[in-house]
Structure 1
Amino acid sequence: MKLYNLKDNREQVDFETAVKLGLGREQGLFFPVELPIITPIELSKILKMDFITRSTEILSRFIYNEIPKEILYQHVKKAFSFKHPLKIKITNNIHSFELFHGPTLAFKDFGARFMAQMILLFNKKNESVTILTATSGDTGAAVAHAFYDMKNVKVVILYPKGKISELQEKLFCTLGKNIKTVSINGSFDDCQKLVKEAFNDKILKESIGLNSANSINISRLLAQICYYFEAFSLISEQQRKNLVIAVPCGNFGNLTAGLLSKSLGLPIKSFIACTNANDTVPRFLKNGMWNPKKTVSTISNAMDISQPNNWPRIEELFNRKKWNLKELRFGSVSDYSTQNTLKELFKLGYVSEPHAAIAYRLLKDQLKEDEFGLFLGTAHPAKFKNTVEEILKNDIALPNELKTRINLPLLSYNINPNFSKLKEILLER
């Protein structure tokens, strides 16, 4: 698999190198040189496969013979060794597609665990690797658990202090061992800026084997394509004809993966890019002006991102496929509307959480009479227990994954958004 740097097309690397580097020169994102296509006949066969076999087949279309299919299968099986996504009927023409049945109760488990398997496969010399990543809520837990206690791998996770839910924090800031967590006095964008500074420090990067596990890493992105095919396999022939998928968007990796599934040949009619008040992309799609504002805190905190890293990949894909960006549906939802939507879903017999509620709201508002809609459930409602209980006036039981951690002490450092201080933490043994 060949990938090129979006900021410097002359830099081309194979899949292994892209996974190890995370970012290219000038912090450019890697993007596939070839965009494979699955024919309708092949698609019919692939949709009948089990989830692991199908996922291996999809990933092999990008990776080619760089990893033999039988070896890739074993790593996919280990990565996706948890309950697969569930489709839940909400109304006749709207269903939820729940992606939060993994070990950290979020869709991020797919990408993080596949990346961990790839790092394990490619680290043939057992060299020391440092994974540095920023999280606005769910990435941190998924990455921490995926790499926990892995030999020769140190993980450092940055997150905005006081701006993720208490239970999100408990999931990954109580592990210890090879997992270091750092709360930053600032926003998620401040955390991302620190990560970029670390990658700009060439000596630091090389001395500690620095890599990133954000959705900027191509291995995480490719893994997420797999569950869009699973969603398609679970709906009827009639529902497949005019399928619209609403995606809660933060760093826009999830939507990028969905669009790549469409590029592969999955006949999805349309996607809806769903954001909260941090609406840089909806405003851009409306008026053509890229004008990020200061990030504001909302009850859908994993989407509190004003400068989404994956957006250049989406623009590149639209250019390469000669698609029209104006055909991408979009919208933003206020906290007030999100709360009312949670109540609306509860009356329909479904307990949701703020991120999925935003996707449902925009899907319901934009879905046409002849269309069928899926909205992605990206995290378990219990991760936002206090918020959801206050809105719904209803108790939410804690899953075991959270019960076992709720009373453990936080092990996080706390620093101002200062690179020299972060550098000290990265260099600690």
Structure 2
Amino acid sequence: MKLYNLKDHNEQVSFAQAIKQGLGKKQGLFFPLELPEFELTEIDHLLELDFVTRSARILSTFIGDEIPEETLLKRVKAAFEFPAPVVKVEDDISTLELFHGPTLAFKDFGGRFMAQMLTEVSGDEPVTILTATSGDTGAAVAHAFYGLKNVRVVILYPRGKISPLQEKLFCTLGGNIHTVAIDGDFDACQALVKQSFDDEELKRELSLNSANSINISRLLAQICYYFEAVAQLPQHDRNQLVVSVPSGNFGDLTAGLLAKSLGLPIKRFIAATNANDTVPRYLAQGQWLPSATVATLSNAMDVSQPNNWPRVEELFRRKIWQLKELGFGAVSDETTKETMHELAAKGYISEPHAAIAYRLLRDQLKEGEFGLFLGTAHPAKFKESVEEILGQPLVLPNELAVRANLPLLSHNMGADFAGLRSFLLGLPK
């Protein structure tokens, strides 16, 4: 598999190199040189397979012969050990629940697949994973890499801007997992990660890698659950399928669009954001004007400069699709709360991110269409806000209950690159 750098098309790398490198020159994202496409009969056959077998086939179409099919199947089986069920909410709307993994969020799929791939291609070479999180990435990456030989993980997150239970899930592990609470927002954390990757000495000394959705292995893994969703739908619902994706860094939407590019029958997508609405404003007005990031109930989407957007635009350009065909919208906290009440009245308990995706789907779904919205995190990960909004107690799943009372092991730091640099160079070997 060859990938090229979106900021320098002359830089082309293998899949293994892209996983290990994370970003290209000028902080450019890697993107597949070839965009494979299945025939309709192949899609039908794929949808009849089990989740793991199908996923290995999809991934091997991108990866090619770099990783033997048998090895890839074994790695996918180790990564995808949990289901992604489609649950009916209304007659014409269902949700794809992506929170049945060890950290109760969709990022378990990408994080665990990346850990498997990095272990496969790195061998005994030491690696330092440096990543920023607005909530769920940190937990998924921490748990995916926890205890792995020759891997150190450093996770930056905005202090006081993720839910307490999200924090407990990845800041209580210790060992090879180092967590740093930054005085700033997610974009400040992401900027520090990018500065680190621009520092040649740091990159060389630490063998830096990133596990954000900017890493191509995470993105490819996320394609697989869109196929799993369609496989669970009856034929008549597949034909007019509209998918609403809660969007922060836009990796999930990029993966869905790549699934469509492969030939998966998805009529259209809706990019659902909160008040951090850079993309909806861009799609409506044609100008890219990021505002300062604001804190919302749906904190994992508090991103005003989404890193994956260049991949979305590149895919639309390559496929000769029109951006005007992409649905979009931004939902306020007030409407998010109202929507959570609406869903609860229908018998479905949701957290804020999925509620935003549902709201825009419900508003934009046309007669004869079938809607699917992504449930990206378990409601209990936002226990405090969900209980306050709905006025009813949530039972903590075991994955959270066992960590709820453990002490935080995080370091606190200003949004200062010099301080982070010293911290990274001072980590135990």
Give TM-score, length-normalised by structure 1: 0.99
Equivalent residue runs for 1:373-392 within 5 Å: 373-392=371-390
2:327 matched to 1:329?
Answer: yes
Partner of 1:12: 12
Q: Secondary structure at the match of 2:293?
A: coil
State the AA in 2 paired with 1:376.
L
Q: Secondary structure at the match of 1:102?
A: coil
What are the superposed Cα offsets for residues 343-401 of structure 1, whole Å, 9 maximum, x if unpaired?
Answer: 00000000000000000000000000110000000000000001000010010000000
Equivalent residue runs for 1:16-55 within 5 Å: 16-55=16-55
Partner of 1:216: 214
2:140 matched to 1:142?
Answer: yes
Q: Secondary structure at the match of 2:4?
A: strand
State the AA in 2 paired with 1:119.
L
Partner of 2:202: 204
Equivalent residue runs for 1:143-222 within 5 Å: 143-222=141-220
Question: What is the deviation of 1:81?
Answer: 1.4
Question: What is the deviation of 1:420?
Answer: 1.0
Q: Distance in 2 between matches of 1:150 and 1:17?
A: 20
Partner of 2:343: 345
Q: Distance in 2 between matches of 1:406 and 1:388?
A: 17
What are the superposed Cα offsets for residues 214-239 of structure 1, whole Å, 9 maximum, x if unpaired?
Answer: 00000000000000000000001100
Q: Distance in 1 between matches of 2:327 and 2:122?
A: 41
Question: What is the deviation of 1:37?
Answer: 0.4
Q: Secondary structure at the match of 1:411?
A: coil
Q: Distance in 1 between matches of 2:81 and 2:258?
A: 23
Equivalent residue runs for 1:357-376 within 5 Å: 357-376=355-374
Partner of 1:129: 127
Partner of 1:355: 353
Equivalent residue runs for 1:59-138 within 5 Å: 59-82=59-82, 84-124=83-123, 126-138=124-136
Structure 1 stretches lacking a partner, 5+ long:
none
What are the superposed Cα offsets for residues 21-47 of structure 1, whole Å, 9 maximum, x if unpaired?
Answer: 000000100000000001001111110
Q: Secondary structure at the match of 1:362?
A: helix
Question: What is the deviation of 1:242?
Answer: 0.6
Q: Distance in 2 between matches of 1:17 and 1:166?
A: 36
- The count of residues paired between Structure 1 and Structure 2 equals 427
Give TM-score, length-normalised by structure 2: 0.99
What are the superposed Cα offsets for residues 318-347 of structure 1, whole Å, 9 maximum, x if unpaired?
Answer: 000000000000000000000000000000
Which of residues 258, 269, 287 is equivalent to 2:267?
269
Question: What is the deviation of 1:425?
Answer: 1.6
Q: Distance in 2 between matches of 1:123 and 1:317?
A: 29
Q: Distance in 2 between matches of 1:199 and 1:88?
A: 41
Q: Distance in 2 between matches of 1:53 and 1:12?
A: 29
State the AA in 2 paired with 1:109.
D
State the AA in 2 paired with 1:58.
I
Equivalent residue runs for 1:272-287 within 5 Å: 272-287=270-285
Question: What is the deviation of 1:402?
Answer: 0.4
State the AA in 2 paired with 1:363.
L
Structure 2 stretches lacking a partner, 5+ long:
none
State the AA in 2 paired with 1:171.
L
Q: Distance in 2 between matches of 1:376 and 1:424?
A: 40
Q: Secondary structure at the match of 2:204?
A: helix
Percent identity, aligned pairs only? Answer: 67
Partner of 1:402: 400
What are the superposed Cα offsets for residues 56-105 of structure 1, whole Å, 9 maximum, x if unpaired?
Answer: 000001001111100100000001112x1111111100011100000000
Q: Distance in 1 between matches of 2:321 and 2:178?
A: 42
Q: Distance in 1 between matches of 2:202 and 2:180?
A: 18
Which ranges of 4 or more aligned residues in structure 1 deviate by more than 3 Å? none
